Structure 1
Amino acid sequence: MKTRVIALVLAAIMVLGGCSSVSAPEQERYEATFMTLFDTVTKIVGYAESEEAFQATAQEIHDELLEYHQLYDIYKDYDGINNIKTINDCAGGEPVAVDQKVIDLLLFCRELYEATDGRVNTAMGSVLSLWHDARNAGIDDPENSALPEADALNKAAEHTGFEAIVIDEKAGTIQITDPEVRLDVGAIAKGYAVQRIAEASPSGLLISVGGNVCATGPKPVDESPWVVGVESPDKGAEEYLHTLYVEKGSVVTSGDYQRYYMVDGVRYHHIIDPDTKYPAAYWRSVTIVCEDSGLADALSTALFTLNQSDGQALLDRYHAEAMWVDADGNQIYSPGFSNFIRT
């Protein structure tokens, strides 16, 4: 009898406990925008029980991205930091002691250099700097815009071998053995940094750094995917060519409309073909969908400088998907790209 009474009491406690339980606070959608990272707009979107909780997470992500930004900067010095600019400034000299994050990035750059047969070459800074300077001058003074001198491009192209980048993992140093070689990690650094941050961030965030978009997991409120827009190269009547569903992974687009200048009525963009040393002429834009944001960044650059067949071979190697847009606006999909299309 006593056992039966105890059982009934326990059952009553369980029922009452269930009725009196307090439901978890609802999560609301929040956004944070920063303008100081990688010289572009950074947006973080997520859900949290309060704005304060979300802002704390967003600020932590900002601070971590800022560290990557300073380490990978090729233009500015920072007190107490040996960054990519430091390495370039010491080209032809002694090895430079650097943070492990720089070592890891350059190891990844070397892997992509070899995997793409030099289509993604972060040791091509001597060539890219000529285009960078000409583009900035042309934007500042459009009436006198001009192309880099062909002789200067050819001379710079003689000093673009990644073999000149000596990575000593044990010593924690980087050395450029050719005094004319310069690193430019712009084709990889943003995506690589975003991927490292995403791996350490809570699930259910959407992180966008200058169009390098990475989802750390589906929306936590209903486990639905995020929707990411693919910008139209012409930005005419429709802002987006497509919207894509992404639960976890990255969407990265490279295009001739993002950074360019005009010379004699001709558009010259920033993605340089390593064969010609001039802006690649295959595509208007290339969009990559894959799990790794650093890889997506590199692949979008590589495919922009390749024909579709060679680009597809590279996609197959990394289990990635792509959409190409040609000069006439035609859209070409890799076999699995349509699986991500929402509209």
Structure 2
Amino acid sequence: MNIAVPSPTRIIDDSRARLDFVVAKEAEAAMARLGRTEDLRFSPDGRRMAIAGFAKGTCLVLEVEIVRSGPRPVLHITDYMELHSPALKEPHGFDFVDDRTLVVANRMGGVTIFGVPQHVGTQRTQSLMPLRTITRAGVRKRLDSPGSVCVASVKNGRCEILVCNNYKHRITRHVIRLDGGWSLPRNSIVLEQGLAVPDGIAMSPDKAWIAISNHMTSSVLVFDNMARLNRKSSHVGALLGVSYPHGLRFSPDGQRIYVADAGTPHVHIYEAGPDGWAGDHEPVVSFRVLDDETFHKGRHNPEEGGSKGLDIDASGDLLVVTNEEQPLACFHIPALL
């Protein structure tokens, strides 16, 4: 394996990159009562953002608009919906199939797929039943502690979903037909080798790489998705210099990976090397997303206190993070690089 030559990590203050955002009063109150958050995700059209209300078993869907008329983008949160369901059991990981369909990984349940209602008037609280619940990891195995989820592809009437089974230390694949209703999924175990509490998952835009936050090894493992992956496949790359990696995303061009560190007040940025994501990589930039007071308020143990969820918008300019003590913070990526 070729080893990427690490650049010296620059640790920078967030003040030059932190963005103010505008929040409607009602949405601000909804964010304040979320409690412990986990993942967050923009819808494909960028007009919604879903945040996991882990402890309260809710999903907060924010109506958002990114205004780009000035030198830096401004995120406007104009309204919200709270989604409730008996199937939401410690919702932890989110991804969108499309602008109206949300996949939720529930730590104490299955993977649930919801149709997100079109917001109408003052109907801000919605009680839903899932379109489909995935409970199997294979013919003889059940899904166990699903924590993070990635919609790997949507094509030819099929949706492929990858799921981190946190405490079973494996990644499962689920293929579902979209046309003519939500038919029963095809389920399989796709990755296990080297995984120890996989706590976040992302796929590069070109589908060539799968990155997995590996909680217990303090690293992000990168797998070559162009190979024929199976349960014995080993990772080809590793992102180091992170304490307890959680949410992570590729940049739109696939040349950077952004990693939220639950064990520090930082987000780390990595850059691909000559061999892509093969080899070991150190962060090229680490930047603070929480002040000391906020970080230590949530630091109940060495694995907590930092940000959990992380996402970037389709332009690659706007980065958002969440954790229990700071439900939302926004950053301008060009100012970090």
**Larger RCO of the pair (alpha carbons < 8 Å, separation 6+):** 2
Instruction: Give the TM-score normalised by structure 1.
Output: 0.28
Which structure has the larger Rg over C-alpha atoms? 1
More strand by share: 2
More helix by share: 1
Instruction: Give the TM-score normalised by structure 2.
Output: 0.28
